[in-house]
Amino acid sequence: MLLRPRCSRSRGEPMHEFSIASSIVETVLEFAEKHAVSKIVEVRLSIGELTCVEHEQLRFCFHAITNDSALDGSALEIETVPAVVRCPRCAYEGPPKYWEGALAAGQCPTMECPGCGHAVEAVAGHDCAIKSIKYVRDSDPANAALSPA
């Protein structure tokens, strides 16, 4: 399943990690109900570098809302998808330019071409998706299964 997170953090605006975690939990619980799953063991996500999703905040939100559900105690594995941009002006395609003076914990990608300074388009690294769900079925608790989402 592909999720499209918003990428903005205005003052007073709640973090979008909670809404993303809520969407993930809702989707996985619907999957569990539909497939007679008693326990989710692991949820594996891929999150693009351009989504502005803080992985630790997403993990915190995920675990805060999974108590007393099939997801209680499950692992949340997150794979980062590197950003790739394309410049329509000079045909550059590759990693974005990073803002050197950003007051952020990590690198802050910009949408400026590293080659010519023109605005670029995102080619990769702008999605958030559930890649797989590891679970135990109600009918056979001895066997865990892996399902691509």
Residue 5 included in any domain = no
Are residue 43 and residue 94 in the same domain, yes or no? no
Residue 81, pLDDT above cutoff 90: yes
Let me know whether 72 and 87 are in one domain: no
Q: Does residue 90 sit in the same domain as residue 42? A: no
Q: Which domain holds residue 26?
A: 15-82+125-140
Count the alpha carbons within 13 Å of 13 in the hemisphere toward its beta carbon: 10
Instruction: Confirm whether pTM is higher than 0.85.
Output: no
Kindly give, in sequence order, each residue whose CB lies less than 8 Å from that of residue 140, ignoring residues fewer than 6 positions away.
none
Same domain, 20 and 55: yes
Is residue 114 included in any domain, yes or no?
A: yes
pLDDT in tens, 111-133: 999 999 999 999 999 999 999 99
Are 25 and 64 members of one domain? yes
How many domains, in total, are found in the chain?
A: 2
More confident residue, 98 or 91: 91
